[in-house]
Structure 1
Amino acid sequence: MNLLDVRNLSIELLTQNEPILAVDKVSLTIKEGEVRGLVGESGSGKSLLAQAIMGVLDERWRVDADRFHWRGQDLMRLSAEERKAVITNDVAMIFQEPMACLDPTATIGEQLEEAVDSQQLEGHFWSKRQQRKLAAVNLLLKVGIKDHVKCLKSYPHQLTEALCQRVMIAMALAKRPLLLIADEPTAAMESTNQGQIFRLLASLNQLKNMSILLISHDLENVTYWTNTITVMYSGQFVEAGTTEQIFNKPYHPYTRALVDSSPKANIHIPVKSRLMTLPGSIPVLQHLPIGCRLGPRCPRAQRDCVKAPKVKSYQGHQVSCHFSLKESY
C-alpha cells in the first residue's frame, strides 16, 4: 500500500511580478516500509518539496498538485491547515538546520518531553511526568548521546551543531511516525557518527516498518541505505527507479554525471586527475531555462530540449529526457 502518493506537485514563489515556478510537476510515491532516496544538487528543490509535503511553507509559496494522497485519503479536498494536521500526525521531519529549529528559550529536556506522544503514556498525571522524562532519556540514548544528563539540562546554543542534529532526530522519533523525512540528517557529523545515524534509521525501518524519505546530495552514500531513488534537478523530476537501476544503469545524463563524479566511479583514475563534472552551475530561480532545465549544461542537448520532456517508464524505471541513455546499454 502507498503511504504517500503525490502526482505533478508544483510549487510557485509569489513575487511582486510574475510567480516563479520553483518545483515543476514532480511526482513522488512512498510505500509502507520503503526507504526512498531523494537526490540532487543543492538548489534542486529537494528540501522545498519535503516542506511542501509537511505543509510548513509560508504564504509566499503556492502549492498545487494533481494528486496528493496520504494512506488513500485525498488531501487536496482539505484546506491547507487540515492537510497539515493530517500529515503532521503521522509524518515527522528532520530539518537541515537544527540550530534554527530548536527553541532557544527552552532546555533540550523540556523540548524532548513535549515531543513525546501522550498516547504512549499510561496512569495518572504524576506518573506520566516521570514517563516523559524516562522517554526523553531513552530517545537521547537511542541517537547515541551518552551524556544525557548534561544534554537534557542544556539549551540549544550550549551544544554543538552535531549534537543538536541528534536531538532533532530524537524529537522526530518521539512521535513514532509512519514516515520519517530526513533532510541531510548527518550533514554536520563526522563520518563515524554518520554511519551510526544511518544504522539507526535502517534499524527503525526494519524493526518498526517505518518508511523513510532520505534527502541528500550524495548519490553514492544514499545507495547503501535505500531501496529506491528519485533524482531531481532545478525543481524538475529527472529519474526514478530502484537503487540498483539508478546507480548501475542511469538513463538520464544528469544521473549519469552524478554517478561518474562519485568516488567509487573514480577509484582507478590517476592521482590529482580532474573528476568528471558538468559545465556550469545550477540556475537561479530568477533565470530558469525553458523546457528541460538541464539543457544549457547537458552534453546531449538538442533543439527539442526547449520543450519540457514527458516522463517515460521502462518496467518501473522512470526517466524524463528527450534523448535518454537507455539505448546506450
Structure 2
Amino acid sequence: MNLLDIRNLSIELIGKNESTLAVDRVSLAMKEGEVRGLVGESGSGKSLLAQAIIGVLDDKWRVSADRFHWRGKELLHLPIEERKAIITQDVAMIFQEPISCLDPTTTIGEQLEEAIDSSQLTGNFWQRRKQRKEAAVTLLHKVGIKQHELCNKSYPHQLTEAFCQRVMIAIALARRPMLLIADEPTASMESTNQGQIFRLLASLNQLKNMSILLISHDLENITHWTNTITVMYSGQFVEAGTTEQIFNKPFHPYTQALLDSSLNANSNVPAKSRLMALPGSIPILQHLPIGCRLGPRCPRAQQACVAAPKVKNYHGHQVSCHYSLRDSYK
C-alpha cells in the first residue's frame, strides 16, 4: 500500500468572474521510505501541489481529486479540521525561504521547544519543561548544529541561511513525520552547503526510513539523491519513473530539454555561448495554452497537441505526450 496516493488532483484559482486551472489532473504516489523528486521550472505548480498535500492553501484555491489517500484513508471526504490533524501529525514541510518562515521575534530555542509534540513528554510540568529543552538540543545535533547553546539563544536574522535551513529541518523533525516535503531546500545556497543539506536528508531517509518529497527546478542535481522522479510543466504531469529511467532515457521532450540545459551537458560549450534551452518561457496563469501546455515551445508539437495527451505507462515509466521520445531508443 502506498503511503501517499493522489490521482488526478486539480487546483483552481477562484476569481471573481472565472476560475483558472493552475494544476491540471496531476497524479503522485509515494511508498514508505521512498525519496521522490518533483521537478519543473518555476511556475510549474510544484509548490502548489505540496501546499495542497499539507493543506495550507487559503480559500481562493479549490482542490479536487479522484483520489487523495494518506495511508489508505481518503482525506478529501473528511472535515477540514480532521484532515489537517492527520496531515500535520504525519507530514512536515521545509519551505523555500527558511528565514522568512521562522518567527523573527522569538529565539530559535523557543521555536524548537514549541514544535515538540507534548505526547513525547512525561511527568510533571517542570519535568516536561526540561524534557523540551533536551529534545530541542537533540534535534539540533541531529541536523548537524553542534553549537546548540548559541543557536538556541539566537534570533533567525542572526543566523546564516544555511543554519536557518537546518533549524527548519529540526522543527520539521520535531513531530517525527512519516513524510518530509522539502521545497527547494538548497535554493540560493553555496554548493558546499547544498551538499550538506542533501546528505542530511539522505541520512534521515536511511536511518529513520522517512519518505521524502524533494522539490527542485534542477533535475540533474537531485538525480544523486532520489529513487524516483516526477516532472511537471505549467501545472501538468509530464513524466515519471525511476531516477535511472528519467536521467538515461527520458521519454518527454521537456525532460530532455531540462537535461540538455544542465551544466554537465554544456561542459564543452565555448565560453559566452548560449546554453541549450527551449524557446520562450513558461506561460502565466492568465494565458495558459489549451491541450498540452508545452505545445507552443515544443520542437515536436503537431496538430494533435491542441488536445491534452493521456498518460501512457511503459513498465512503470509514465509519460504524457502525443509524440514521445520512446521510439527514438528502439
Q: Shorter-chain TM-score: which interval? A: over 0.9
In structure 2, the gaps of 5 or more residues are none
**Cα distance, 1:116 vs structure 2:** 1.3
Local SS of the residue matching 1:104: coil
Aligned pairs for 1:203-218 (under 5 A) are 203-218=203-218
Aligned position for 1:72:
72
Cα distance in structure 2, aligned partners of 1:213 and 1:19? 28
Aligned position for 1:152:
152
What amino acid sits opposite 1:186 in the alignment? Answer: T
Aligned position for 2:249:
249
The answer to whether the Cα contact below 8 Å between 1:39 and 1:230 also exists between their aligned partners in 2 is yes
Cα distance in structure 1, aligned partners of 2:134 and 2:119? 15
Aligned position for 1:20:
20
Aligned pairs for 1:54-93 (under 5 A) are 54-93=54-93
What amino acid sits opposite 1:163 in the alignment? Answer: F
The answer to whether the Cα contact below 8 Å between 1:247 and 1:259 also exists between their aligned partners in 2 is yes
Aligned pairs for 1:168-183 (under 5 A) are 168-183=168-183
**Cα distance, 1:117 vs structure 2:** 2.0
Cα distance in structure 1, aligned partners of 2:322 and 2:298? 12
Cα distance in structure 2, aligned partners of 1:227 and 1:74? 26
Local SS of the residue matching 1:99: helix
Local SS of the residue matching 1:214: strand
- RMSD after superposition: 1.2
Aligned position for 1:322:
322
**Cα distance, 1:209 vs structure 2:** 0.6
The answer to whether the Cα contact below 8 Å between 1:39 and 1:231 also exists between their aligned partners in 2 is yes
**Cα distance, 1:261 vs structure 2:** 1.0
Cα distance in structure 2, aligned partners of 1:314 and 1:164? 42
- Determine whether 1:284 maps to 2:263: no
**Cα distance, 1:264 vs structure 2:** 2.1
Q: How many residues align?
A: 329
**Cα distance, 1:216 vs structure 2:** 0.4
Task: Using the aligned pairs only, state the percent identity.
Answer: 81
Aligned position for 1:115:
115
What amino acid sits opposite 2:230 in the alignment? Answer: T
Judge which range, 138-147 or 88-97, deviates more. 138-147
Aligned pairs for 1:220-231 (under 5 A) are 220-231=220-231
Aligned position for 2:199:
199
The answer to whether the Cα contact below 8 Å between 2:143 and 2:170 also exists between their aligned partners in 1 is yes
**Cα distance, 1:99 vs structure 2:** 2.4
What amino acid sits opposite 1:201 in the alignment? Answer: L
Judge which range, 142-151 or 4-13, deviates more. 142-151
Local SS of the residue matching 2:265: helix
Judge which range, 103-112 or 310-319, deviates more. 103-112
What amino acid sits opposite 1:187 in the alignment? Answer: A
Aligned position for 1:42:
42
Cα distance in structure 2, aligned partners of 1:44 and 1:119? 38
